């Protein structure tokens, strides 16, 4: 057995494309000979740190995104739907509270990282619900299988220096790798980090890993 390669996935639940990439990565983490490390970060800080412009702010790109997201969602079998007020969700409310909570979950109860992340995406990008208020975050945690006691303890820690510093550390790490948007995968292959941006680079990643690509829903392709 060859040495397992490390894949770091940087994501933010405010990003719909991050949801697509996250789900595909979850499907392949036990198929490929890799160790997947999830890195919750802040997309807003990434955009600011690199001087990048959100694609939705460019009129033609924004129009394209509307149709592209729906095509990608169907292709990846992810129940993604645009929220009723896209700009309010993306640019006004943001995801700071949610990403601090996800970071705290990873630090305190990592077994819930995947389902909590998924439920927060479900709220914002499928059910058109809030992800900024404490009650909403606790509801997502409950649906992810966390008990009320655990969820409330995790929520109480989101303003701690440890959680804030960890989220900043993840975001700073992404910037050092050259990340300019999310999702971004940093693949450590032969001792060197390789950056792959977007939710549609898995086929190329598989090629460079020497792994097989079965499409975004490998369970169906391998039947």
Which pLDDT value is given to residue 1? Answer: 44
pTM of this structure: 0.94
Which pLDDT value is given to residue 58? Answer: 86
CA distances to 38, 67, 118, 122 from 137, rounded to whole Å, are 19, 29, 12, 12
Express each pLDDT in 45-90 by its tens digit: 999 999 998 888 888 988 898 899 999 999 999 999 999 988 888 8
Q: What confidence tier does 223 reach under pLDDT thresholds 50, 70, 90? A: low
CA within 13 Å, CB half, 1 = 6
CA distances to 76, 108, 213 from 217, rounded to whole Å, are 6, 30, 10
153: which DSSP letter? H
* Average pLDDT in the chain: 94
Domains within the chain, CATH numbers bracketed: 5-221 (3.40.30.10)
Q: Is the confidence at residue 3, as pLDDT, over 50?
A: yes
């Amino acid at each position: 057995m060859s040495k397992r390669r490390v894949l770091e996935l940087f994501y933010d639940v405010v990003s719909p494309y991050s949801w697509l990439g996250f789900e595909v990565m979850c499907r392949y983490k036990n198929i490929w000979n890799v160790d997947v490390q999830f890195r919750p970060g802040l997309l807003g800080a990434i955009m600011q740190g690199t001087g990048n412009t959100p694609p939705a702010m460019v009129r033609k790109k924004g129009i394209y995104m509307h149709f592209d997201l729906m095509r990608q969602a169907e292709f990846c079998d992810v129940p993604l739907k645009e929220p009723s007020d896209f700009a309010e969700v993306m640019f006004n409310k943001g995801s700071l509270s949610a990403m601090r909570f996800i970071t705290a979950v990873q630090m305190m109860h990592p077994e819930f990282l995947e389902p909590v992340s998924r439920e927060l995406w479900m709220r914002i990008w499928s059910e058109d619900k809030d992800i900024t208020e404490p009650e909403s975050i606790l509801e997502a945690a409950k649906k992810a299988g966390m008990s009320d006691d655990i969820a409330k303890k995790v929520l109480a820690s989101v303003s701690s220096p440890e959680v804030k510093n960890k989220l900043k550390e993840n975001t700073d790490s992404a910037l050092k790798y050259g990340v300019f948007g999310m999702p971004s995968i940093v693949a450590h292959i032969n001792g060197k980090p390789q950056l792959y941006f977007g939710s549609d680079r898995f086929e190329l990643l598989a090629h460079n890993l020497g792994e097989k690509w079965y499409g975004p829903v490998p369970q169906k392709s391998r039947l």
